[in-house]
Amino acid sequence: AQSVTQLGSHVSVSEGALVLLRCNYSSSVPPYLFWYVQYPNQGLQLLLKYTTGATLVKGINGFEAEFKKSETSFHLTKPSAHMSDAAEYFCAVSVSTGGFKTIFGAGTRLFVKA
């Protein structure tokens, strides 16, 4: 069975600093990996996804993530944080089991300080 672990329930960075949100997964089959963002009082929005091919994927709002199979990781980064990046971020893994089933990590709340 697949699982997702997000390291750190809260991350705080200064505006302009590097954002790094960590995600490790376990899966017995090649996974599809996703990052979602949830702004206050809103649903989830897809930031980026890895399915196959290039291991460095770029998403919206300047975010990117790198799939590292050897480390079973899919960390989310952004070179320079903006105040508007403050939100909850969820890593998710999805595998095909006769239909796709997605498991979400516990989430990491990102705080951006002025």
Partner 1 sequence: SAVISQKPSRDICQRGTSLTIQCQVDSQVTMMFWYRQQPGQSLTLIATANQGSEATYESGFVIDKFPISRPNLTFSTLTVSNMSPEDSSIYLCSVEGTGDGYTFGSGTRLTVV
Contact between 77 and partner 1 by CB under 8 A: the answer reads: no
Contact between 99 and partner 1 by CB under 8 A: the answer reads: yes
Among 2, 17, 22, 44, binds partner 1 (CB under 8 A): 44
Q: What angle do CA 26, 44, 51 make, to 5 degrees?
A: 40
CA max distance for the chain: 47
Residue (66 or 109) nearer to partner 1, CB: 109
- In Å, how far are 3, 10, 30, 97, 99 from 66, measured between CA atoms? 18, 21, 15, 24, 25
Binding site for partner 1 (CB under 8 A): 32, 34, 36, 41-46, 49, 51, 90, 94, 96, 99-102, 104-107
